[in-house]
Chains A and B, each alone.
Chain A
Amino acid sequence: MIEDMIDTIRGAFELAAISEFNENMSFIFCPRSQDVDYGSINDFALIFVDIELAKGSKEDGFSILRRLLNERHYPLNRTIILTGNTVVNEKLEENSIDPKILVVKKPVNYDDIAKVLKERIKLSPEGEYYLI
């Protein structure tokens, strides 16, 4: 979760984990671009990126998305934009980000998050989660 309003958004994810995934899910939050450890990105099933980040952040969400998708070739279907900015879709192309990327707009409740998670992650019969 690359997101600066952690306290506001944490509840939706934790409640989604309880309601749909038996609490069997963990997340980490990075409020600033410099907190992102690009070496470990493949350890995560999904990456949520907010566009506007904390004041001390060196880069905005668009730059992080470019690094993830264009430089690190992180899969597009495992990357989700989570933002309160209502005009983000129009800005994708000018920021050279594939406009097919999923954009989720705030405010979000746990149900919205659960739906997005279920769409991208499945539970195998052995109780393992795997990516679609």
Chain B
Amino acid sequence: MHHLLSSLLYRLIIILYGAFIVLTHDNIIATPFYAILPFVYAPLFILLLGKEKWKYWRLLLDILVVAAVLYGKAPLDNTCFVVALFPLISSIAHTGSHAKYWPILILTGVLLIVVDQQVIPTHLIVAFLVWLAGVQSWYNSQTNKFLSTTVGHIDDYFTNNDGTKKPHEIYKNIIAEINSYLECGYLKNIYSYTLDANNTLWLVNSSEFMWVRTLLLDDKAIAKLKEKRYLLDKESCSRFFLVEQNDFNYVYRCEFDPNYMRLNFRKGYVVSYVLELAFGRMSTLLASEYRIAETRRKAFEETKEHIEYVSKALKAMHFVRNKLSPISSVITFYSDMDTMDAEKVKKMEERVKKEVKQAKGDMSEIIKTANFLLDKQNNPYSGADVETKNIKFLFVILSEIVQYHLGGTVEVSEEIQQFEQRMVVRVSTMQLKLLFTDIVSNIERHKSSGYAIRMDAKDDCLVVSFINDIGISQEADCNNLLRDINNSNNEGIVSRKSHGVYNIKTSASTMGVELKAEIIGEKKNKQYVLRTSFKMFEDNGNNNSNDGNKDTGD
């Protein structure tokens, strides 16, 4: 479409400029006759429109129209000469297709010779130079096209357009692109490294698998690479590119076929230029991948801690079981004593005394083990890292959970939205997520008709209410739930079908959040309401509480 529009505009310019020439110059035939020209030109042009292979015919038509305008105006003045160059300039405008071809230059030369009827060398030289500029711009556009497709392979990684899943697969596409430009397989492999403080190159990734993860260059080569950001190593037929990205120095090594060194200068230059820009982009990708890997490593460390804790807990339980043997023997003896004869009791009692001593020691070891498990510092799950957070942070966390589980939103009262001061709550991000997820997923599982989740301010508390409509069949269940939530001790909740009440209560009590459940409404319109109250404080500005729009730490 863009192509067609520029093509039409260009023809309009030929007609207008032609009219200008006709009106300002003496003409060989009566001026009004020239008015016919556009009416011949336009239909013929439309006839030739559409097909790519007819472009030469369209160009010939342009030249014929220009010839008709110029004919009989010899010797050509400058304004006339310019219109003679129009077809040549047009081919420059349509870069990428026919600027390269000699025929246009020859036709323009023929046109000049025919209309001028005498050969003016300067005119021909100017025409040649204009053509040369066209050829140059064609090459530029080719380079830009080459550059954008090559760099495009890196962008495709982000959108996974071409199924690239691992960054190193991008190199294969880049290599294919470069080699198709060079029209042979000169580029063998691409390796990327990071340069550390000791001038060792550490492999990041590469187009082929590498067993050797480091590369050492001599100091001179490193110094040159750092200075020029480019290095040619003839011995290994490699070109090195250095890209600085944040705190990293990424170094890319391109391994070429030995024949590459004999390549013509222009192509070699273009390839280096494209590679340099592609590697600039690649470095952004590698740096972001590094950040992601870092986050994963952190998550793994956390998981590792959790796994270790669970296996420690299991080991502790085995330890407790093992240590209970003496206590069990003592108890058995005193329970069975009455059924034994006196002599046996005497003998046994003597031995049991020893066993009591053993049991005493074992018991204190059992208690020590239990204390270890109960100590919150040893428990990576306790998540007791309570921090001061803006209420917006709480809103964002809750909204994300509600959106994910229920596809719904959280209603926030006007009062909260209009708080003038920055209000904060004391929460642990992990416990907060656990608490809200447990409650919201209960709604997800058990909701009957409607639900609502609201944030209100009441006294000095931020109250988040979870309101769920109750079906008649759910009433008994809800009454149990109500009792469990409002009950101050947790006994019996762990084992029963309890809608995760134990977890909800644990998370809430860790953060000092008050839980209150009630059933409101009458008969068919009953609703189960669970309120969680967070104590609110005015932000005194001393804490680095997170805003709602900050990363929620996933």
A3 to chain B, nearest CB (A): 10
Contact string, B323-337, partner A, CB cutoff 8 A, digits 1/0?
111111101110010
Contacts of A23 in B (CB 8 A): 347
A8 and B332 contact, CB distance less than 8 A? no
A1 to chain B, nearest CB (A): 13
B354 and A85 contact, CB distance less than 8 A? no
B169 within 8 A of A: no
A107 with B327, Cβ < 8 A, contacts A11-B355, A84-B319 known:
yes
B322 and A15 contact, CB distance less than 8 A? no
Partner of A107, one of B324, B355, B358: B324
Partner of A11, one of B319, B322, B325: B325
B353 to chain A, nearest CB (A): 10
Contacts of A112 in B (CB 8 A): 328
A9 and B348 contact, CB distance less than 8 A? no
Bound complex: CA of A5 vs CA of B366, how far in Å? 14
A19 within 8 A of B: yes
A30 within 8 A of B: no
A108 and B323 contact, CB distance less than 8 A? no
B329 and A18 contact, CB distance less than 8 A? no
Give chain A interface residues in 32-62, CB to chain B under 8 Å.
52
Partner of A7, one of B319, B324, B336, B358: B358
Closest chain A residue to B326, Cβ basis: A11
A12 and B325 contact, CB distance less than 8 A? yes
B321 within 8 A of A: yes
B351 and A84 contact, CB distance less than 8 A? no
B351 and A108 contact, CB distance less than 8 A? no
Bound complex: CA of A22 vs CA of B279, how far in Å? 87
A11 with B329, Cβ < 8 A, contacts A106-B324, A107-B323 known:
yes
Closest chain B residue to A9, Cβ basis: B325
B325 and A15 contact, CB distance less than 8 A? no
A107 with B322, Cβ < 8 A, contacts A11-B354, A12-B329, A15-B329 known:
yes
Chain B interface mostly: helix
Contact string, B302-330, partner A, CB cutoff 8 A, digits 1/0?
00000000000000001101111111110
Bound complex: CA of A19 vs CA of B347, how far in Å? 9
A8 with B318, Cβ < 8 A, contacts A15-B333, A109-B328, A109-B331 known:
no
B351 and A8 contact, CB distance less than 8 A? no
B62 within 8 A of A: no
Contact string, B409-442, partner A, CB cutoff 8 A, digits 1/0?
0000000000000000000000000000000000
Chain A CB within 10 A, most for which of B319, B331, B358? B358
Contacts of A8 in B (CB 8 A): 322-323, 325-326, 358, 362
Give chain A interface residues in 75-132, CB to chain B under 8 Å.
84-86, 105-112
B322 and A18 contact, CB distance less than 8 A? no
Chain B CB within 10 A, most for which of A9, A85, A110? A110
Chain B CB within 10 A, most for which of A7, A12, A109, A112? A109
B344 and A19 contact, CB distance less than 8 A? yes
B352 within 8 A of A: yes
Contacts of B326 in A (CB 8 A): 8, 11-12
A106 and B351 contact, CB distance less than 8 A? no
B318 and A11 contact, CB distance less than 8 A? no
A11 with B327, Cβ < 8 A, contacts A84-B318, A84-B319 known:
no
Partner of B332, one of A84, A86, A106, A111: A111
Contacts of B332 in A (CB 8 A): 109-111
Bound complex: CA of A14 vs CA of B348, how far in Å? 9
Partner of B351, one of A5, A15, A85: A15
A2 to chain B, nearest CB (A): 15
Closest chain A residue to B324, Cβ basis: A107
A117 to chain B, nearest CB (A): 14
Bound complex: CA of A111 vs CA of B336, how far in Å? 10
A11 with B358, Cβ < 8 A, contacts A106-B325, A107-B328 known:
yes
Contacts of B362 in A (CB 8 A): 8
Partner of B348, one of A7, A19, A85, A108: A19
Q: Which residues of B contact A (CB under 8 A)?
A: 318-319, 321-329, 331-333, 336, 340, 344, 347-348, 351-352, 354-355, 358, 362
7 further A-B contacts with Cβ under 8 Å, apart from A107-B322, A107-B324, are: A5-B323, A9-B325, A11-B354, A14-B351, A86-B318, A107-B321, A110-B333
Q: Which residues of A contact B (CB under 8 A)?
A: 5, 7-9, 11-12, 14-15, 18-19, 23, 52, 84-86, 105-112
10 nearest A-B pairs in the assembled complex, by CB-CB distance = A107-B324, A109-B328, A84-B322, A11-B355, A109-B329, A107-B325, A109-B332, A84-B321, A84-B318, A107-B328
24 sampled A-B residue pairs with Cβ under 8 A: A5-B322, A8-B322, A8-B358, A8-B362, A9-B325, A11-B325, A11-B352, A11-B354, A12-B325, A15-B329, A19-B344, A52-B318, A84-B322, A85-B318, A106-B322, A106-B324, A106-B325, A107-B323, A107-B324, A107-B327, A108-B328, A109-B325, A111-B332, A112-B328
